[in-house]
Amino acid sequence: MKKIILTQSFLILVSIGFSQQIPQVSQYMRNHFFINPAAAGSYDFVDINLSGRSQWTGFDNSPKSSFANLTTPINQKKNVYHTTNFKYSPEVGCGKTKHAIGLQFQLDEYGAFQNMNCSGAYAIHLPINNKINVSFGTKIGFSNYTFISSRAEVKETAIDKTYLDYTSNNSNKFIFNLGTGLYMYSKQFFIGIAADQITKGFVSFGGSSSVNFDPQVYYNAIGGVTLKLSNNVSISPSFLIKYMLHAPLSSEGSIKVEYNKRFWAGISYRNSNTIIGMLGMNINTKLKFGYSFDYSLSRFNNYSHGSQELVLGIMF
């Protein structure tokens, strides 16, 4: 197992913490609500997703993330997702006004840092016509940032002021979060923009004033189309662009193929020189799952065994 040792300055570890403020996900095509609150309620049923992600396996204290989210329309008169067809794949509901809510929980661990986030979301969906909806959403919650000194390895700590600030003070802070999004969708396409951590560290409590976790505003844009190749096969190209101040622009393109409205597989390329393979299926009319593996094409792969992500979905 490899270990990251800070030989000169603890600032290296701090910079890693800042760049990991928003957890990385690979299966964004299957869960738009994770990155855009306006996507809550686009499906006309209760949608629950549970997932876990392990990054850079092979390193001690490598990033690990756990997620759970729930979305549901709140003015749905009947459950339109009702079928005995085992191969049925749900579609978004368009052409009507909808109100929806969502709940989200995230636990992200990266090196000596831990971030736990809980938030609630609301979205209103308005029909442009019978086939296209546009939705506006916002989410409100709190993040708890924690520094775990037992996971940090440094040398010459007596002269490293940043390290001493984090270890000698109460490095556990709650920060208020606000996010918003705009999302347009139909059964054939989707496009959206969103911003998270808009309030940055404006409202916070706990911890010490000498310790700054420095949350940054995070922006993303998403889009894609679904093309039907035959009665049983469809293909969905999509893109995701992410930006945060003091971090390089991240972009990725993906292609997902679905067979018989039950099985799906996909491939993505991230501009960090990473290729991602994905596959999944609808187990039945209530359960779905997905698995993805990130493989680095750079020399970093000589030290890491890639990243893995597993998602389990429940539909009511």
Q: How far apart are CA 98 and CA 209, in angstroms?
A: 43
63: phi then psi, degrees, rounded to nearest 5: -60, 135
Fold of 11-315: Porin (2.40.160)
pLDDT tier at 91 (50, 70, 90 boundaries)?
confident
- What pLDDT score does 158 carry? 56
Closest CA to 56 of 300, 312, 275: 300
Domain residue extents for the chain: 11-315
Task: Please give the model's pTM, rounded to 2 decimal places.
Answer: 0.83
Span 172-199, average pLDDT: 94
pLDDT tier at 30 (50, 70, 90 boundaries)?
confident
pLDDT tier at 89 (50, 70, 90 boundaries)?
low
pLDDT at residue 84 greater than cutoff 50: no
pLDDT tier at 88 (50, 70, 90 boundaries)?
low
pLDDT at residue 288 greater than cutoff 70: yes
Q: Give pLDDT tens digits for 119-170.
A: 999 999 999 999 999 999 999 999 988 887 777 766 665 566 666 666 666 5
pLDDT tier at 105 (50, 70, 90 boundaries)?
very high
Segment among 54-63, 71-80, 210-219, 265-274 with least mean pLDDT: 71-80
Segment among 134-148, 199-213, 297-311 with least mean pLDDT: 199-213
pLDDT tier at 87 (50, 70, 90 boundaries)?
very low
Tokens linked to 131:
């086939």
- What pLDDT score does 210 carry? 53
- What pLDDT score does 168 carry? 66
pLDDT at residue 14 greater than cutoff 70: no
| Arithmetic mean of pLDDT over the chain | 83
- Quickly list DSSP for the chain: -B---BSS-THHHHHHHHHTSS---S-GGG-GGGT-GGGTTSSSS-EEEEEEEE-STTBTT--EEEEEEEEEESS-SS-S-----TT-------SS-EEEEEEEEEEEEETTEEEEEEEEEEEEEEESSSS-EEEEEEEEEEEEEEE-GGG--BS-GGG-HHHHHHHHS--EEEEEEEEEEEEEE-SSEEEEEEEE-TTTTSSEESS-TT-------EEEEEEEE-EE-SSSEEEEEEEEEEEETTS--EEEEEEEEEETTTEEEEEEEETTTEEEEEEEEE-SSSEEEEEEEEEE-SGGGGT---EEEEEEEEE-
